[in-house]
Every structure is written in structure tokens, then in C-alpha cells.
Chain A
């Protein structure tokens, strides 16, 4: 039985079962292989790569947009704070927006500003008219500021950069990070002229980030300015080339372009443009991304300015502590002192950087670099430079038409030459200089403090009832008043009213008789320009006034500079009709008031000195004022003695003194009618001390009229100064030269005005020594 059973299992069942098992195994294995080979196709698709790449690309795009917008705004606004604020806001908005846009995907996006270098320190070559200049540029970095602009150099860069890191935990991506830098790099490599064909060739290289060349620029991407040295006064000399058919832009490969320019202002064959001024080029490039960069072919200039007014006459004199000039530099390169140009020949022009970029340095051997920053400000005037604009001191703009750069240069004892560097900073985060002149607007007066003195300028409607225009007060409250131009005398029932007519101006909105805008960093202007004249007359036994507006056009400017002991005043007048004058006074100095004789006696001056053309007493007439109404030097007014005069009048006591200085042209104007005098007297009211320059003196007994024809002009330039005082000695009496008071052979006090008056005459102006040096330095200076 057992054998039988075994035999039957072998024959059928084993084969069948084995077959079944084999088939099952084959099917299972094939199924597993199939599933394994196709399993990846069933993975859920994870788009993290695309998402991160798209965010990364948009981050790069956002940075590009921010840089483009910032460079455009900065170029227009000429200040970086607003554009930078916009950039930061846009950057934050982008981060918030991107996080919101991908909120459902579990992303964590973080950004960080970086301090990566955007250009290593390097030396570049600039070829100007065949002359090679090797320019060393320092390393430029982003400085954790999001973006940086290094402009106004032959090599200029606009750059932005930041890090982005993304964690996509839901998608299994952790720690993805990328650094993005976007930039536009412009280098002026060569400038040359082909005079015969009337062309200027400018070679530039334009690169983007990673040194990739920018190869898609056309004429419209370039904005180029050339300097027209033949531009007439009042016409801005920087001319933007139209980039018309005459001009060409040729791409040479590797980001190099050659730009051929035919100056639109057509310089003549003999124009200094072809020999000197062609080298001053401004190139602004805007690439297809909208990023702007601005390069100048030069970085500044250096002058040696020599003073000729004091050191030659008072060498190494320790009293020479206040010789400070306020120079004014115009865009065409002309430097002025008190309205006189001092440049002998071609001078480098000032380009058009934002005001805050400008820096003025003067040499100072006590500093490590040999230079220190000088005080300066940029101003804006009318194109003809007749008047400052109301917002003349606004720094949020470029130097341009009507611009003037004012800077102070001092000459201590023993120093008669100064090197002056005028440069424009390349870092667009440069800040404007501090505003150092204080101003306070009162109801009737504006008080301007320049550190040395406070000028109280009478600006209220009642100022025409006063007999002075302004007062200067030093820190010890010692003061002197100055009366400015007036003319004619009113004879009325009570006596005489001097002067009958005063130049008049009224700003109806401010109620002020002068325009006194907010001052700049180192200078304040008060100015007015009007055809109105305030006339006093008698009606019914009372004095009253009227305004006449067809007699005199008058333009006057008072300038107060920081930390100097003088102010300047310029008056230009044009007679609008034929006019007869019986009196005309240019400027008067008055000291004393109702209290100082008893309360502040040290405030009251005691003596006066005249720089006289009468050589009887070695050119100076020194005398004492009286305690009651007296004439000391005058023609035809009670007395008729010597009233000759010259460049200055001064009054003083032991503690302080004040002076008036005149220019030579003003002296000439004073004497033009042959009725002039240096009038010195003591007034009836409070025995005030009065010294004035009159172009037409008043004759009590024989009132004469000096005719001024319609169209006649006159110019008054004067300075007032407050300084140390002194005492006269060695008294004597000579009523011909000083009546009603003591006269003195010597006065210590006259040394000071004698030392300084030449600064203001125009005869001893500073001069520029040699040829101004054109600077190509890279980086900033100090």
C-alpha cells in the first residue's frame, strides 16, 4: 500500500504543483521587476528646483530693477538718501511679496546685504591726447549697503548685491544659498582730438557683472557732455552732444566702444577747445537694463593761490590772523575774489556732480596728508550771475547753470601761498558739508551769526525810519551800525532829513525789505533787486513817505561768510530817468546809542582815523569824536575843512574797532562828480560817531544839483570789518584836518585796517601761480 501511494504522487501531482509554483514565482518576479522599473514614474513630481530657480531669477531681477531705479533717481535728485530709502523699501517689499506668493509651499526666504568686493584695487590707463595717465583705483566694496555707486571718475561703477537663502522643508530642500551682484562698470580709456576733421574720439569700456562685456549699446545709451570754452557769459558751457548723424558709436568687442563726436557748439579752429578743453568729458551710460553710470574724464584740479595784499607789506606779522578770502569758482573754471576774476589763462572747468560730492582741500603741513578740508559751499545764481536764487544754498542738486562754488582760504602769518584742491568724491554716499552759519528770523531784523560777529539786518517795514541798515555785534556786544546807499536831502520845517530817498524793496509775502533765505554752510546772502525808492516828504508839518518806482534800478547783495571778521556789500544802480541829486551817500558807519555812553561805555568808540590823500600827516588823520553834535571833517557843512579820504575809514576805542573798506572802482565812482567827501562828525542824538563816504556832499547854503542821466550806472563795492582796537597818542590840534576834537600823530589802531584794506581794493588781488593741475586721482583724497 505504501509503495503504491508514493508512486501515484510522483507521476501527476508533483509535476502539477511544481508547474503551478514555477508559474507563480515567474509572475511574481516579473511583476516586481516591472513595478521596480516603473516606480520612478509614479513618484509625485517635486517642482522645488523650478520654484527655487524662479525665485533666484526674480531676486536677480529685483536687484537689477532696484539698481536701475536708484541710479535714475540719484542722477535726477542729486542726493542718495531718498533713492537709497526707495531701494530699501523695494527690497523689503520684494521679500515680503515673495514670501506671500509662495506661502503655501512652506518656503523660508532670507536675504542679507553683503560686503563683497565689486572691483579689486587695480591700475588703469587713461590716455589723454597721447599722454598716458596711470590711475590707481582702490578696492571698491558693497560695504553691506545693498548698493554702492562710485561715479565721477574715469572708471565708475554702479553696483548692487545681496545674498538669498531658501529653505523648502516641505520639499526637502534645506540651506540653498546664492550671492547676487549686479553692476555696470564704465571706464573712459582714451580721449583724443582730430582737429582737421573737427572730431573728438572717446574710447570707453562697458562691462557688467563677472566682467562680461556689454555689447548692445547704441547712441541712445550714451549721454555725453563736452565743454565749450567759448560760451558767452550767462550760457552754461557744458554742452550735451545730440548724438546725431555726425556722431558715431562703434563697438570694438569685449565691451569696448569708440565714440566719435563732432562738437555741436562748433569750436573755431583757434578755439582753446582743440588744445586744452577737449579733455574734459562727461560720459553717462544707461544700459538695456536701465542701470546708469556716470564717468568724468578727470577728478579735480589743484591751484596755487597767492595772496598779494598783506604778506608783501607785513611779512610774518603775527597780527595777520584774519586774512581769509572767500573765493568763488564758476563752472567755466574762473575764480573770483569779491567779483574780480583772478585766473590768468585756461583753467579746468567744474563738471556737474551733485553739490554734496564736491570737496575743497587746502594744504596744511600740520596734517598727515598735507591737506585739510576747507570750508565751502555750492550756490545757485541766476544764469547771468546777477543775483543768487532764493534757494541758492540747497544742496540737493547738481552743479550746473548758475552754479558757484564758494570756498574760504586763509593765510596765517608768514603764509602767502596756498595749494587748493577742488575735487568731487567718487562715493555717492558722500554727505554735504555742515551748515555753520546760524540765522534767526525776527520780526524786524534777521540775525546772522558767523561765529565772529552777529549781523543784525533790519528787514522790517519800519527799517526805513531808522538811520542805519544793519549792525554788526561781536561776542562782547560791541557793535557798529552801517547805513547803505541813499540820496537827496529833504529840507522841511524841522530841518533836514538825510537821505530823502532810499532804495526800497518789499517782499509782500514775507513782509521783509530784503530777501534773506536760509544760508548755506559758510555764507549768507541778503539781497534785493527793485526799481522802487522810498521817498520821505513833508505834508502838513508831518513827515510821510511815498514809493516811487521809475527813478532807480538797484541791485544789492550783502554777503556774510563763516568765521571771517568782515562782510561785503555790492550795490549796482542804474538811473531810469534823468535825475538831479543834491546829496548822495554810499556807505556810512555809525557807533553809539542811547545807553552805551553810561551803561556800556566800552562799547562806544572814541577815535577815528582816515586813510587820507592829504599827505600833510603821513596819510593817516587820527582824531577824537566829540560829546555833542560837531563836524570833524566835512565840506560846506558848518565847516569846510579837509575831507579827503581814500580806501578806508575806521573808528575804535581801546577794545575794538570797525572799518569800511572800499574798492578802487568805488573810489573812482565816488569822485566822478567832484563833490565827494569822507564825512566825519558827531551826531546830535546821543553823540553818535559817524563816518561816511559821500559821492555828493550837501551844501547848506548853496544847494546844487548833480545831474544823472537816464541809463547812467554806478557800482559800489565795500566791506565792513570788526576788529581789535587801539589808542592814538601824541595829540595836537589842527582844525583844517580834524575840527572840534583832538588830533593825533600816531594811532596803534590804524595798523589793522592798514593791514587789511588792500584785500578789498582790487589792486592787490590774489593770483593763481602757474598752471592749474588737472587731477586724475582715483578714490577719495583725505
Chain B
């Protein structure tokens, strides 16, 4: 007569191991969904974006850079690029577009004011670890309303 008690122990152990493995696998998968530190960094980047733009607005940077007296300064984009290069951290990618809110009758359109100012290509942004964007409006001294769109990414 064969004693099958040892075999049953083995089967039970295997089953228990399987259950434990499945449970652990499930837990690992659950905790692997995203990296909270990465998510936090992106949020902070967006907030930083707003804070940065509001800081520029408070210091009337858009008046001083974009305008020369009452006219749009020729080549203001270069000045703005120099400014952004000096104010933003080195590893930050940026792309700024300034729109003039142009009123025709009761309609207001966003008309780009000059070229976008950027230190990166679109490809660079798609490869960035985190990216964020912000928009603010800015009323100039000669009473133009500008919309400033800023995209930033961390490489």
C-alpha cells in the first residue's frame, strides 16, 4: 500500500506557493501603476510655469521687451530668448508664444505676435520626462491685451 500523505503535502505546498505568488504579483502590479514623484514633478512644473509668467508680468517684462515706446520692437523675440535663457534653469526646455488679442467687432482673435521663442524642437518635448504649459493674459501700457503661452519640459 502506497502512503500518499507526502504527495498531498507537496500538492498543498505548491498550491499555497501559487496563491502567494499570485498575491504578490498582484500587489506588485498594483503599486507599479505610476511613479508618484514623477507625477508630482509635472504638477510642480505647471505651477512653476504660471508663477514664472506672473512674475514676468508683475515686472512688466512684456512691456519692456516686446515694445519700444508705443511700437512693437523689431527683433523682440531675440531679447525675450536671452531673457528666458538667463531666467530658466539650464535643463528646462521652453517654448513661448505671444498672441495679440485682436478685436474685430465683437470678436476677439488670437493673433501671434512674432515668432515663437524656444530652445527646443517638438521632438525634444516629446522625449522630455515631464512637460507642462500655462497661459496668462497681460495688458500692456499701450493697452494691448496679450496672451502669453509657455510650454516647459524637463529633459
The reply to whether the CB of B88 lies closer than 8 angstroms to some CB of chain A is no
Question: B133-155 CB contact bits vs A (8 Å, 1 = yes)?
Answer: 01111111101010100000000
> A100–B16 contact, CB under 8 A?
no
Nearest Cβ on chain A to B22's Cβ, whole angstroms: 10
Chain B residues with Cβ below 8 Å from A346 are none
Stretch binding the partner chain, chosen from B34-42, B77-85, B121-129? B34-42
Contact of B39 among A23, A30, A41, A57 (CB under 8 A): A41
The reply to whether the CB of B71 lies closer than 8 angstroms to some CB of chain A is no
> B34–A90 contact, CB under 8 A?
no
> A290–B101 contact, CB under 8 A?
no
- On whether A54 and B54 interact (CB within 8 A), knowing A8-B5, A12-B9, A20-B16, the answer reads yes
Task: Find residues 8-38 in chain B having any chain A CB closer than 8 Å to their own CB.
Answer: 9, 12-13, 16, 19-20, 23-24, 27, 30-31, 34, 36-37
> A57–B54 contact, CB under 8 A?
yes
> B135–A101 contact, CB under 8 A?
yes
The reply to whether the CB of B50 lies closer than 8 angstroms to some CB of chain A is yes
The reply to whether the CB of A233 lies closer than 8 angstroms to some CB of chain B is no
**Which partner residue on chain B sits nearest A55 by CB separation?**
B137
Nearest Cβ on chain A to B144's Cβ, whole angstroms: 9
> B139–A45 contact, CB under 8 A?
no
Chain B residues with Cβ below 8 Å from A17 are 16
Chain B residues with Cβ below 8 Å from A42 are 34, 36, 39
The reply to whether the CB of A58 lies closer than 8 angstroms to some CB of chain B is yes
Chain B residues with Cβ below 8 Å from A751 are none
- On whether A66 and B143 interact (CB within 8 A), knowing A47-B50, A54-B53, the answer reads yes
Chain A residues with Cβ below 8 Å from B9 are 12
> B36–A16 contact, CB under 8 A?
no
> A100–B43 contact, CB under 8 A?
no
> A31–B108 contact, CB under 8 A?
no
The reply to whether the CB of A590 lies closer than 8 angstroms to some CB of chain B is no
> B12–A41 contact, CB under 8 A?
no
- On whether A54 and B34 interact (CB within 8 A), knowing A12-B9, A16-B12, the answer reads no
Main SS of chain B's interface residues? helix
> A13–B140 contact, CB under 8 A?
no
Question: B85-110 CB contact bits vs A (8 Å, 1 = yes)?
Answer: 00000000000000101010010111
Question: B45-76 CB contact bits vs A (8 Å, 1 = yes)?
Answer: 01100110110011000000000000000000
Stretch binding the partner chain, chosen from A91-99, A145-153, A299-307? A91-99
A665–B109 Cα distance when bound, in Å, is 72
> B57–A65 contact, CB under 8 A?
no
Chain B residues with Cβ below 8 Å from A97 are 101, 103, 108, 137, 145, 147
Chain A residues with Cβ below 8 Å from B5 are 8
> B47–A45 contact, CB under 8 A?
yes
Nearest Cβ on chain B to A88's Cβ, whole angstroms: 12
Nearest Cβ on chain A to B57's Cβ, whole angstroms: 7
A194–B66 Cα distance when bound, in Å, is 48
**Which partner residue on chain A sits nearest B51 by CB separation?**
A50
> B138–A58 contact, CB under 8 A?
yes
- On whether A90 and B137 interact (CB within 8 A), knowing A27-B24, A54-B50, A57-B58, the answer reads no
Chain A residues with Cβ below 8 Å from B58 are 57
A90–B101 Cα distance when bound, in Å, is 12
Task: Find residues 49-66 in chain A having any chain B CB closer than 8 Å to their own CB.
Answer: 50-51, 53-55, 57-58, 61-62, 65-66
Which residues of A are at the interface with B, using a C-beta cutoff of 8 A? Answer: 8, 12-13, 16-17, 19-20, 23-24, 27-28, 30-31, 34-35, 38, 41-42, 45, 47, 50-51, 53-55, 57-58, 61-62, 65-66, 68-69, 90, 93-94, 96-102, 290
Could you jot down 27 A-B contacts, CB within 8 Å? Answer: A12-B12, A19-B16, A20-B19, A24-B20, A31-B31, A41-B37, A42-B34, A45-B46, A45-B47, A47-B134, A51-B50, A58-B57, A58-B145, A65-B140, A90-B143, A93-B103, A94-B139, A96-B101, A96-B103, A97-B137, A97-B145, A100-B101, A101-B99, A101-B101, A101-B110, A101-B137, A290-B141
Given contacts A47-B46, A96-B108, A101-B99, 19 further A-B contacts (CB under 8 A): A23-B20, A23-B23, A41-B37, A42-B34, A45-B47, A54-B137, A57-B57, A58-B57, A61-B139, A93-B108, A96-B106, A97-B101, A97-B103, A98-B137, A99-B108, A100-B109, A101-B145, A101-B147, A102-B135
Chain A to chain B: the 4 pairs with minimum beta-carbon distance, closest first: A97-B101, A50-B50, A41-B36, A97-B145
